[in-house]
């Protein structure tokens, strides 16, 4: 092959270069070593900031610890007190469960309803989608919590509007019976991100299924219940799990609207807020660690429960 040799001779003799420092390093540590170099930041973070602390907080949950002295082993004391003699714990669980069980289904219902409406080849889809998504993006900020505190206060906007109809509303955020519902409304207001996920799911449903149903004379309502909803169950399942976990972790709005107290009379004492008060208000670090592990168990229970029941209602293609 003359051409090849021509090319080779054109390049001249192969230069005898020493490998660079980096090349020698790479060869020195081998491929597995190189992989661990990439993995190092994560691995260090995992061991020092996640695994170690998780185990240490499990230990702390069996102690009495105020940050000043050493942790003092108290066995199951924290847990028994939580279970038997802590009205604030009971209140915070009640508040949080009410919040989760109200806000998640309502938020998902809104998200699905609007997504179905938007998925009809409307003009202006991107504009509507953007408008509905905006509150999700802004909603976790302190600014929106402040706004909510004004909207639902005694002389706030909501009562201003009601006043025009001659209704004299209470101060919604300082009435124990209604305070939590203002937070539920705030959560529903942020239905935008599950809506976007529903829209993506709706796109995946092939149009010819609906055509076939149409031929067979299925009404639109029937098509929704028999086609759209079953085919969307994996997305509904996903959204439900993600939103439930998020709802359990909600903190900022309750903190801002109640001024950090969880009031009026513990009506907005979210679990995370109670944990914060115990840890950073009273510096009962052992007790707060026990609360954190109970939260982990509650969330794990809900997640496991949804995964176990999923096989009865979530429809997968195969």
Q: How far is the CB of 230 from another protein (least distance, A)?
A: 12
Q: How far is the CB of 215 from another protein (least distance, A)?
A: 13
Q: How far is the CB of 80 from another protein (least distance, A)?
A: 20
Q: How far is the CB of 161 from another protein (least distance, A)?
A: 5
**201 burial type by CB count under 10 A (0-12 exposed, 13-18 middle, 19+ buried):** buried
Residue 54 φ/ψ region, left for φ over 0, alpha for ψ in the -120 to 50 degree band, beta for the rest: alpha
| C-alpha to C-alpha distance for 251 and 241, rounded to whole angstroms | 18
Extract the runs of DSSP E, i.e. beta strands, from 75-180: none
Contact indicator for 270, 262 with CB cutoff of 8 Å: yes
* 80/303 with CB nearer another protein: 303
Bridge partners of 64, per DSSP, are: 72
Q: CA nearest 192: which of 112, 295, 93?
A: 112
* 91/241 with CB nearer another protein: 241
* 7/54 with CB nearer another protein: 54
| C-alpha to C-alpha distance for 135 and 144, rounded to whole angstroms | 9
Q: How far is the CB of 317 from another protein (least distance, A)?
A: 18
């Amino acid at each position: 092959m003359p051409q090849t040799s021509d090319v080779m001779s054109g390049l001249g003799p192969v230069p005898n270069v020493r490998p660079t420092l980096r090349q020698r390093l790479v060869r020195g540590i081998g491929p597995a070593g190189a992989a661990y170099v990439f993995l190092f930041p994560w691995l260090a973070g995992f061991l020092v900031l996640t695994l170690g602390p998780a185990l240490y907080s499990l230990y702390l949950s069996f102690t009495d610890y105020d940050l000043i002295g050493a942790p003092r082993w108290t066995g199951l004391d924290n847990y028994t007190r939580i279970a038997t003699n802590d009205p604030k714990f009971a209140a915070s669980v009640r508040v949080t469960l009410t919040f989760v069980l109200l806000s998640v289904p309502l938020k998902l219902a809104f998200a699905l309803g609007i997504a179905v409406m938007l998925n009809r080849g409307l003009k202006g889809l991107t504009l509507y989608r953007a408008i509905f998504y905006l509150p999700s993006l802004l909603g976790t900020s302190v600014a929106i919590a402040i706004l909510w505190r004004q909207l639902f206060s005694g002389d706030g906007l909501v009562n201003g509007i009601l006043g025009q109809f001659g209704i004299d509303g209470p101060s919604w955020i300082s009435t124990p019976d209604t305070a939590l519902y203002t937070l539920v409304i705030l959560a529903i207001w942020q239905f935008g991100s599950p809506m976007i996920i529903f829209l993506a799911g709706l796109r995946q449903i092939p149009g010819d299924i609906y055509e076939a149903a149409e031929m067979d004379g299925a009404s639109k309502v029937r098509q929704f219940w028999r086609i759209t909803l079953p085919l969307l169950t994996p997305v509904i399942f996903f959204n439900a799990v993600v939103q439930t976990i998020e709802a359990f972790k909600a903190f900022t709005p309750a903190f801002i609207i109640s001024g950090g107290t969880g009031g009026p009379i513990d009506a907005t004492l979210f679990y995370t807020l109670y944990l914060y008060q115990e840890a950073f208000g009273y510096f009962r670090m052992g007790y707060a660690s026990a609360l954190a592990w109970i939260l982990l168990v509650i969330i794990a229970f809900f997640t496991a429960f949804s995964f176990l029941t999923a096989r009865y209602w979530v429809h997968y293609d195969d």
